Amino acid sequence: MAELAMLRVFKEHPNKKVIYVAPLKAIAKERLKDWRERLEFGVLKKKVLELTGDYTPDLEALKKSDCLITTPEKWDGISRSWQNRSYVKDVGLIIMDEIHLLGQDRGPVLEVIVSRMNYISQQTKAQIRMCGLSTALANGVDVANWFGVKAQYFFNFKPAVRPCPIEIHFDGFSEKHYCPRMATMNKPAYNAIKKFSQGKPVLIFVSSRR
């Protein structure tokens, strides 16, 4: 979805920039490597730059860029002085990955970015499209409403459209407190992995790093 939105900007608004906000520097590096190979060194010849705490390009490079890959904190700091930064006013699309982080420590930073970009759009009379991505979001409709997204532009993709087939199995646990609940889930999770994903890669998502 994000790449389709990017291609639309490149085609219809070639002077506008795309901002990709990654929650982690590791994801930013991964996107940088992938998009440089396909967008910059491919047929499109679009300039892709990293804008993080580790690396900040010079002003001329920023002005000539087509896509900036950044982090929430970095873009928050950069966009505060948007009146004096032409490349911020040239943004046509901002992509926020892992938008479910709104409910965690970085939530306030993401909220500020969304509010500020909407304000910049109003002040410059230039439309800025926003695209929020999440692999799992319980209150997706609420987030879409907060973004100002109309119902027809909110997409919830079912497992059937995945490039890799997926099966869904549910198992309930009655423990109310986090640590006891995690303890009771250990053995059933292991048994489920052996039963449904024997010899295959496995990802386990939990609600805390503890």
Q: How far apart are CA 40 and CA 106, in angstroms?
A: 30
- The per-residue b/e assignment along 53-80, b for 16 or more CB within 10 angstroms, e otherwise, is eeeeeeeeebeebbbbbbbbebbbebbe
Q: How far apart are CA 74 and CA 56, in angstroms?
A: 10
Q: Report the sign of the C-alpha dihedral through residues 146, 150, 155, 156, in that order.
A: positive
Q: How far apart are CA 68 and CA 21, in angstroms?
A: 8
Tokens of 95: 């992509």
Q: Report the sign of the C-alpha dihedral through residues 99, 102, 105, 110, in that order.
A: positive
pTM above 0.85, yes or no: no
Residue 113 has what pLDDT? 92
Residue 152 has what pLDDT? 87
Contact 94, 128 (CB under 8 A): yes
Q: State how beta strands 48-51 and 67-70 pair.
A: parallel
Q: How far apart are CA 14 and CA 1, in angstroms?
A: 19
Residue 12 has what pLDDT? 94
Whole-angstrom distance between the N-terminal and C-terminal Cα of the chain?
Answer: 33
Q: How far apart are CA 74 and CA 90, in angstroms?
A: 17
Neighbours of 141 (CB within 10 A): 13
Residue 84 has what pLDDT? 92
Per-residue model confidence as pLDDT tens for the chain (210 residues):
899 999 999 999 999 999 999 988 888 999 999 999 999 888 899 999 999 888 888 899 999 999 999 999 999 999 999 999 999 999 999 999 988 877 777 788 999 999 999 999 999 999 999 999 988 787 888 888 888 788 888 888 887 787 777 788 888 888 888 888 888 888 999 999 999 888 888 888 777 666
CA separation, residue 19 to residues 41, 99, 162 (Å): 19, 14, 26
pLDDT tens digit sequence for 130-163: 999 988 787 888 888 888 788 888 888 887 787 7
CA separation, residue 47 to residues 19, 81, 89 (Å): 12, 23, 18
